[in-house]
Structure 1
Amino acid sequence: MVQKTAIKHYQMYIGGEFVDPSNSEYIESTNPATGEIWAYIPKGGKEDVDRAFKAARQCYESEEWSSLSPTKRGKLLRKLAEALEKNAEHLARTETQDNGKLYKEMLGQMMIIPSWYEYYAGLADKVEGTVIPLDRQSVFNYTLREPLGVVACITAWNSPLLIATFKMAAALAAGNTIVLKPSEFTSASSLEFARIFNEVGFPPGTLNVVTGYGHSVGDIISKHSLANKVTFTGGPETGRKVAVNAASNLTGVTLELGGKSPNIVFADANLDAAEAGVISGIFAASGQTCIAGSRLFVERSIADEFIDSLVRRAKEIRLGNPMSPDTQMGPAATPAQLMKIEKYVNIATDEGARVLAGGERPCDPELSKGLFYLPTILGNVRNSMRIAQEEVFGPVLSVMTFDTEEEVVKLANDSEFGLAAGIWTNDLNRSHRMARALEAGTVWVNTYRTSAPGSPFGGYKNSGLGREMGIDAIYDFMQTKSVLVELSDEIRDPFTVRTLN
């Protein structure tokens, strides 16, 4: 079904050089669509992590990096954006082989990734301090915003480069250096990125990429004494562990964690657009997105007609070779993820849910070697069921109905998560009321799964801490220094407290 390619052997990127792992061990990377090994990824260890942090710290303290003005950092980021745009097709193919997502979606991501580096390139020299007005006029008080130092970035397997970009573009613009640890399941595109980064002209050690397992390399990185900030994308359980590890050094964290996002359809909505938005929210990327609209709430008066149409549409979704332009949904990224999807559908049916579409692996022999699961819609779901409360991270939609605005707000907010939400209505007042009432970091109205570099992204509740993207993010990678200068020649009493207001 998918043409075989030669197996690639990758190296880590540390201190501006591509190097083998200190233990000479590698991880097999398997194409989810074919089940075939296509690459070997270095299995790093403590020695590799220590080398990476040492290189990042040396670079941060070096004259070559520290003397770069914010404007010059911006110019380097623009060069990186141009280089990434030229390599978009290659990077997209790499990610499709690695995680099984559609090539056309990966290419779309690779084409927009340069926008993030361009955005922060422009923002790099726009960060300003402030002058603090004091009652005592002889003291001049101003603030400086300075980089933190070395930022540890730990990313997820579903959109490796896009998620890394959310972190690295702002961190670099702020003047930090980076140690990046991609998921062991999808490390190849980060190592391809390192090759492009290496050619742009950043000082050696600005970026370091260490690959390996989360329970070893990721654990060491998150509690490393040279990390001045840890930013992580992944599941809540791992996120808590990352936060605890970082706290051992009083290191700050940004956490972008899971979601169980509600997609809410009112009777007055453009139902064709809403149907497309629901499909996009849960079946695009095989449901393997943290913002997946996995809980659908439909106003009761239109529920039967809307759900019937949705079920028909889901059954028509074409599974297959992710490289084919005709394919609409690819495989799960890993065998463990496929098993998790199956487990949750079984749990749901045991609790009383009814399978309206999918609910099993496809019987097509052409798909038998891949990690495919049919687009699944579940009816008779109660919001208290595990399928409605726990993140599946797959193409499984739980459908529920509601009668009033107040009722659906309570249902939507009845979750430990609060990453995103969708609202479909033509009532302008309702859209703004709902946007305020929903406990979510991002609320989409009459659209879903859209983003922009300047729009802050992050979650409420167990969906995370802090914000990525937008102006907010660059400040998360900086610290504020207050400078007070005495302008008079007055000799003060050294034994009394001096207040300036």
Structure 2
Amino acid sequence: MEATTNTFLSWLEKEQNKTYENFINGEWKSSLSGETYPVSCPGKNNIVLGHFPYSTEEDVNLAVEAAHQAFQSWSQVPGPDRAAILLKFADLLQDHLEELAFILSAEQGKVLAEARGEVGRAIKETRNVAGDAIRIEGTTLPSEKSNVTAAVKHQPIGVVAAIAPWNFPVVTPIRKIVPALAYGCTVVYKPASETPWTSIKIMELLYKAGVPNGVVNLVSGSGSKVGNPLTNHPLVKGVSFTGSTGVGTRLNEMAARRLVKTQLELGGKNPAVVLDYEDVNVVAKEIVGAAFACSGQRCTSISRVIVLKEKAEELVSAIKEQMNALKVGPSWEPTSTIGPLVNKDQLETTLNYIKIGKDEGATLELGGEVLSEGEMGEGNYVVPALFTNVTPEMKIAKEEIFGPVLSVLEVESFEDALEVANDVEYGLAASIFTNNLSLANRFVEAVESGMVHVNHGTASQAHVPFGGVKQSGYGAYSIGKTNKEFYTNVKVSYFQY
């Protein structure tokens, strides 16, 4: 499909308003509730993209039981065979990249270039993780006795509950499902209620790749009706969740009562500390790109710029220049660089924080307006906002907004910058811009963050562990070798001969 406005809208007209089902034990099944709910397009709220199952605990039970049964055989499939299926799945993602990007863009709102990038990232992660299926290393330890051998191996934990957010509806579920399968686990997956359409296509491609019945199951619905029963189910042995810190904390409490593993990727309030530079425009471009990708609806978005006072005026000017080059518009317009927010609630939340910032005494330097003229009035569009004269105690400097709002805080020294950077409850990602290698190293060591970037925005890579500290994460990091800590249990054996 060629990426033109007319092509996209013609495709959307053919594909909209269909009814979809859950995917359980290799079959498409209506929810036992008999109910569905509509999902609308964030760029045109009057377009109903589809109707999805409003599932219940009974649907969850069917899916978990199917996954539990499938685990008995899937866990015994040799690692190279599991890897072969996952590599075929990656090839199918590549073949259907444009279709997936269209679906993603229609239901989530991100512009097509970003949507393609997300699918491409999912392909990279799948190919990287597929190799883990044949790299599940154990160890043999020297024994205290000459006639005893001591060994450590890793075994799959069983059924995994995968619960994903709406901001990355392709890469996040794949980041959970693919490693589960690589390590021999089975999955019951709950997509975000706002973005279940991409998950339908993911299930189709997994099945086409040869994933056996019951190994991956999809149950759509609300957190209370699906997410909670899934977390509490006695056959579920691990919960991988990406979303808000509040919801993640509650799920962790539920899982802890059963001593079940959790892997939590939560919120962020990510700083960019700016000390010095050779080219202010390079720094501004990195910051603006990291702040407003996915319309700021990204857990690793830069939301705070902490800059030395003598650099603030020049940096703010460069940031404004970069922001003025952004174009808010429908995701399917080739000239758009920022799409709509995912729904009206997210728009209202963002506008409320902009009001709070002004009420607290910060200066709204740029943006913050709702776009309501013409076709813009049919969607959830807001101009990215830039605040100056922000102080560390303000809500816009403390709380995760999850929208296109960037705050600038001025400090006197590196020590002050580090203190302000750490003075939030989150610790996901952080950036520092400096030519001073000593200060860069000090920042990397002292900042309370799971991921740190030097002279670089907060973009991660497809083979490197991803996670946070403090209120930004709990349990094993996703991506890379750290996945083994979550998807497997350690078993120790002693052989006497």
The TM-score, its normalising length taken from structure 1, stands at 0.94
Q: Deviations over 1:129-152 (max 9, x none)?
A: 111222222221111210000110
1:47 is aligned with what amino acid?
E
The residue that corresponds to 2:461 in the other structure is 452
Q: 2:53 corresponds to which residue?
A: 42
1:473 to 476, 483, 486: 483
Matched positions, count: 485
Aligned counterpart, 2:349: 340
Identity %: 33
Deviation per CA, 1:250-307, whole angstroms, max 9, x where unpaired? Answer: 1110100000000112223531211111111111111000001001112211211210
CA distance in 2, matches of 1:143, 1:50: 34
> Residue 469 and residue 269 in structure 1: after superposition, are their counterparts in 2 closer, same or farther (change >3 A)?
farther
Counterpart of 2:88 (choices 61, 72, 79) is 79
Alignment of 1:280-319 (within 5 A): 280-319=289-328
Secondary structure, in 3 states, of the residue corresponding to 2:327? coil
The change in CA–CA distance for 1:457 and 1:152 in structure 2 (over 3 A counts) is same
SS of 1:172's equivalent in the other structure is: helix
CA distance 1:238–1:269, shift in 2 (3 Å): farther
State the match for 1:490 in structure 2: none
For 1:244-393, list aligned pairs within 5 A: 244-393=253-402
Task: Please provide the CA RMSD for this pair.
Answer: 1.3
Partner residue of 2:423? 414
- Superposed displacement of residue 469, structure 1: 0.6
Matching residue's letter, 1:150:
V
SS at match of 1:160: coil
Superposed displacement of residue 358, structure 1: 1.2
How many angstroms apart in 1 are the aligned matches of 2:126 and 2:326?
34
Deviations 1:412-466 (A, max 9, x none): 0001000000111222222222111111111111221322232111111000112
- In structure 2, C-alpha distance between the alignment counterparts of 1:364 and 1:381, rounded to whole Å: 31
| Secondary structure in structure 2 of the residue aligned to 1:124 | helix
Partner of 1:12: 22
Aligned equivalents of 2:28, 2:184: Cα separation in 1: 23
Gap runs ≥5 in structure 1: 488-501
TM-score when scaled to structure 2? 0.95
Using the TM superposition, name which of 408-417 and 422-431 deviates more.
422-431
Aligned residue runs from structure 1 range 48-197, under 5 A: 48-62=59-73, 65-197=74-206
How much does 1:392 deviate? 0.4
Q: Which moved more, 1:414-423 or 1:354-363?
A: 354-363
| Matching of residues 167-246 of structure 1 within 5 Å | 167-246=176-255
Instruction: Select between 122-131 and 331-340 the one with higher mean Cα deviation.
Output: 122-131
CA distance in 1 between counterparts of 2:21 and 2:225 reads 18
For residues 87 and 339 of structure 2, what CA distance do their matches in structure 1 show?
A: 33
| Per-residue CA distance 1:81-115 (angstroms, 9 max, x = gap) | 11111011111111111111111101111122111
Aligned partners of 1:13 and 1:19 also within 8 Å:
yes
Greater radius of gyration (CA): 1
> Which SS does the other structure have where 2:371 is aligned?
coil
- Give the drift of 1:363: 4.5
Q: Could you tell me whether the CA contact under 8 Å between 1:270 and 1:426 is conserved in 2?
A: no
CA deviation profile, 1:469-489 (whole Å, cap 9, x unmatched): 1111133210111111222xx
> Structure 1 pair 22/363, CA: closer, same or farther in 2 (3 Å)?
closer
Q: Name the amino acid aligned to 1:19.
A: K
Q: Distance in 1 between matches of 2:177 and 2:36?
A: 26
What is aligned with 1:484?
494
Residue aligning to 1:22: 32
In structure 1, what is the Cα distance between the partners aligned to 2:261 and 2:316? 45
